[in-house]
Amino acid sequence: MNARQVVQTRSYQVTTIWALGFVTSVLLTSNAVGAEPAHPNILVIVADDLGYGDLGFQGGTDIPTPHLDRLAKESTRCTNGYVSCPVCSPTRAGLLTGRYQQRFGHEFNPGQQQEEEAQNNFGLPTTEITLANQLKQSGYKTGQVGKWHLGFSERFLPNQRGFDESFGFLGGAHTYLPAKEGKKSGIFRDGNEVHEEEYLTDAFGREGAAFIERNAKSPFFLLLTFNAVHGPLDTKPDKLERFKQIADNKRRSYAAMLSSLDDAVGRVLAQLDKSSIAQNTLVFFISDNGGPTNGNGSLNTPLNGVKATIWEGGIRVPFVVRWPGQVPADKTYDQPVIALDIFASASAAAGAELPKDRVIDGVNLLPHLKGENTGVPHEALFWRFGEQQAIRKGSYKLLKLRNGEEHLFDLSQDIGEQHDLLTARSNIAAQLKSEFANWNSELATPLWAQGNGGKKAK
């Protein structure tokens, strides 16, 4: 090799090293804080009938919730987080579609589901696109664990609605204890009834962790919908003993159930860590509605109202979003958001385009949580639950109760809805009433009447 060839060879080596260094720099930059990685895992955790003020990060003091508190600490906590209905099934319909469920008639729970007709007709309409459908088209493995409450017939079941795997029960409530010998369990895996030996909250935590472990090497979407802390108040003896200092028996049982829920969430979060994928997993945690204080001993402090009402205590819920390096940790976000936003946010994170043939009411929260978009996510939020109606715009909330009474509150000054401004701010009330009427005109007739076993409404 002559001198010229040596120089050319060394020049090529230097150029190659520089190019490799440049590529490495680009790759490192693409994984830096703030740069969205491709196809993050999506985990949506839903509690059932949780009291607004019962978790440690929500101000609760008598029931330790270390795992949920850790999740909140590592998340942005949305202090004005809502669901689209104050009861279970409609909230789930809205969450999974990103649409106000009243647009497609899924306005109410279906009742006790004792009639064959009700079992055949009740369910999330098959014309709706679910978040599982969305993400599956983007190459995601999809799983559902826990309470379904979106239909009993074959066409409504999770495996027909975009989920590759499912484990749980189909109705609105279920015992937490194993079925007695010779009795049906009511627990299904991919549509087939199975026997379950574990306390149900533990079983859902086990199944959620197992799904994550199986799919850790490919992007996944897991909808983990606990029935805790919904009745019946079935408890584990060791948990009940732990809270023996709580004198009220109902509250004591609730504490035991909430502690089990916290442990199950901890197990799932630990599996993300163990699989080394927590950094690339977008996690949402909400409750499906406010706590029914008289039913399970929950507390919605400092809110007024309970489950099944459109007071804040029925629709305002703990709402946290974790995505390490993408969504700020240990922060609060104070603009009103709603569970409908999970659909659009998860779709955006996964690179999935929103359906263009229908109204999607949810918005992508990620730019708002990151501070990239300083505008409000929603000009207004709406609720219609039969005769109960409400609209929130900015800090003002106008609501109409079953008896026809109307009230106006400034939630920035009166989170407990104690000081009615209907007369003093009549101009604001009139504006909000007009905006609600415009929204209401877009909605469908309910597919079944409230609590009548699923028969079609007149």
Q: How far is the CA of 340 from the CAs of 210, 413, 429, in angstroms? A: 27, 26, 25
Which of 149, 174, 368, 378 is the catalytic position?
A: 149
3-state secondary structure 390-431: EEEECCEEEEECCCCCEEEEECCCCCCCCCCCCCCCHHHHHH
Find, among 319, 335, 339, the residue nearest to 58 by Cα: 319
> What radius of gyration do the chain's Cα atoms show?
24
Going across the sheet that includes 220-225, the strands are 192-194, 187-189, 165-169, 141-147, 220-225, 41-47, 281-287, 319-322, 76-78, 331-333
At 92, the amino acid letter reads R
Out of 39, 78, 88, 230, the active site residue is 88
Phi/psi at 80 (5° precision) = -120, 55
Please, which residues bridge with residue 285 across strands? 45, 320
Distance CA 178, CA 184 (A): 10
Q: Which CA distances in Å does 326 have to 32, 37, 151, 269, 279?
A: 9, 9, 35, 18, 9
Nearest to 90 by CA among 377, 296, 383: 383
Contacts of 158 (CB under 8 A, 6+ apart): 132, 144, 148, 166, 168
Residue 219 near residue 228, CB atoms below 8 Å: no
Q: Are 176 and 230 in contact (CB under 8 A)?
A: no
- The secondary structure of 73-100 as a DSSP string is HTSEEETTEE-S-SSHHHHHHHHHHTS-
Rounded CA separation 286/37 (Å): 24
Residue 416's alpha-carbon distances to 303, 313, 392, 426, in angstroms, are 5, 9, 15, 20
Contact assessment for residue 236 and residue 260, using Cβ atoms and an 8 Å cutoff: yes
Catalytic (active site) residue 78: no
- To the query of whether residue 368 is one of the catalytic residues in this protein, the response is no
Distance CA 96, CA 147 (A): 13
Q: Which residues are catalytic?
A: 88, 149
